[in-house]
Amino acid sequence: MFKLFLQGCLAQTDFPSPYRYDGFDNLRVIAHPVTFAGLTDVAFNQIRQNCSSDAAVTVRLLESIAVIAEYTENSPDKKALRRHADLILKGSRQGLSFEEDKQDVERRYAQVLKSC
C-alpha cells in the first residue's frame, strides 16, 4: 500500500517549504520538513536491514524501487532511491548464500540503475 502511495503521489509531489509565514509575510514557524528521502528511509530502512538473507524480499524491494524511480523526476529523489538500492545490493552480497540468488538480485539492481 505504501509503495503505491509513493509511486502514485509522492514521487511526483513538490513538498512544501518548512517556512510558515503570517498574513504580513513575517516568518512564524519553521516546521520539520517532510522530504522524499525521509519517506524512502521510513519505507525501506527497516525492511532492508532485516532482509539481506532473504532473496525474495530483496528482489521485491529492488523491483519496488525501480517502479517508483520511473515516476520520479528530480535528481535528489532519484539519488535517494539509488542509495537504498545500493544498500540493498551490498546487504544481499553479504547475506545471500546461493550464487543464483545473488545473480537474481544483481539483475534487479541493474533495472534500478536504468530508472535512476
Give pLDDT tens digits for 68-114.
999 898 899 999 999 999 999 999 999 999 999 999 999 999 999 99
How many domains are contained in the chain? 1
Question: Mind listing the pLDDT tens digit for each residue in 61-76?
Answer: 999 999 999 989 889 9
Q: Is the pLDDT of residue 7 over 50?
A: no
Range of the domain at 50: 2-115
Q: Give the residue-averaged pLDDT of 29-50.
A: 91
* pLDDT score of 15: 67
CB 110 within 8 A of CB 69: no
* pLDDT score of 18: 81
* pLDDT score of 11: 54
Q: Report the SS3 class of residue 14.
A: coil
Contacts of 30 (CB under 8 A, 6+ apart): 18, 19, 20
Is the model's pTM score more than 0.95?
no
Q: Is the pLDDT of residue 5 over 90?
A: no
Q: What's the sign of the alpha-carbon dihedral 60, 64, 69, 70? A: positive
